[in-house]
Amino acid sequence: MITRRSALHCLAAPALLGAGRAFAQQAPLLKQLTLVVPFPAGGGTDVVARMVAEGLRGRYAENVIVDNKAGAGGRIGVQFVKSAPADGSVMVFTPAFPLAIFPHIYKAMPYDAMKDFVPVATTSKGAMVLSVGPGVPSTVRTAADFVAWCKANPDRATFGAPAGSGQHFAGVQYAKLAGIPLRLVPYKGGAPSVVDVLGGHIAAVVTPLSESLPQAGEGKLRLLATTTRKRTRFTPNVPTMSELGQEVIFEDWSGVVAPAGTPAAIVVRVNAAVAEVVRSPAGAAAMEKFGVEADLNTPQEFAELYRATYERYRAVVQATGFKAED
């Protein structure tokens, strides 16, 4: 069984990796995998999760169900997986923040991110983007325009994001560095915030690029700036926040995480299957369509990334002083 320590260290053993690959080839298909998404259907996380689920059907399990257990910013779905059997039949597909940020901002947590889970496989790293919709005049075309508009309209300067998410902290840091009164309107997930910005109920959103790119392609949203280190290949004409003088960099992982105690051979098997899905023509096409940058890691690499992300956000939260209220 994998413990916290073994999840971070023993997966490095070449013998274990070799055994896992052999197991992946020889083991019979699981009857059913439930892949929990802790957010509403239709968001960027859900879209990638469903692509992964479709690819795992026939590779890892005979049947794969995507179960959207939204609520509490993602904590309900993650908590459900914590208590699930550690036999590879229930896992969660999630971005980093319910596991890397929430432990630092909530006084009471229903799970321990470092003890209750095993990192299994990453699929992508997420570019986030600041976008505006019809609630902001059509003359606002750039981040500089938006800064000026926010200063002139402080009562209307709002942005949507899940409270306590990477999007939330990216928006707060951007507002602070740009010197604008940009107020958070919290949402359960990215999809509902996009609906409201399209309806003009909020001025802006900070979302994964995958959630705003389709709307931007139809001319419904204006992409102003990304949180990446350099411009993404999907949005070469959209500057980064760093380019604009605000050093805001958020590029978090998304991936599959299992309950603690999941056997190492299953972790390696699922990791290999997810990598096959992402690399497949269908997987690559889906990632391209939604503006998602593939980012694959071995179980050992993901374990190290998982801990590093957790510690990085500890510092971010301490610097902002933010504490969430249930």
In tens, the pLDDT along 233-269 reads 999 999 999 999 999 999 989 999 999 999 999 999 9
More confident residue, 35 or 322: 35
127-226, superfamily in CATH? Periplasmic binding protein-like II (3.40.190.10)
Q: How far apart are CA 296 and CA 54, in angstroms?
A: 18
8 A C-beta contact, residue 24 and residue 55: no
Q: For the residues 27-38, what does the mean pLDDT come to?
A: 95
Q: How far apart are CA 124 and CA 121, in angstroms?
A: 10
Which residue, among 226, 210, 197, has the nearest Cα to 47 in the 3D structure? 210
E strand or H helix at 48: helix 44-56
Which residue, among 256, 267, 306, has the nearest Cα to 55 in the 3D structure? 256
Domain chopping of the chain, boundaries: 4-126+252-320, 127-226
Residue 319 confidence class, pLDDT cut points 50, 70, 90: confident
Give me the percent of the chain exceeding a pLDDT of 70. 92
CA-based angle 194:233:246, to the nearest 5?
65
pLDDT for the residue 79: 98
Chain segment 78-131, per-residue pLDDT in tens: 999 999 999 999 999 999 999 999 999 999 999 999 999 999 999 998 889 999
Residues forming beta bridges with residue 129, ordered by sequence position = 207, 226
Does the pLDDT value for residue 13 go beyond 50?
no
* CATH topology for the 4-126+252-320 domain: D-Maltodextrin-Binding Protein; domain 2 (3.40.190)
Q: What is the pTM of this model?
A: 0.80
Handedness of CA 220, 223, 228, 232 (dihedral sign): positive
Task: Let me know if the fold of 4-126+252-320 is the same as that of 127-226.
Answer: yes
pLDDT for the residue 1: 39
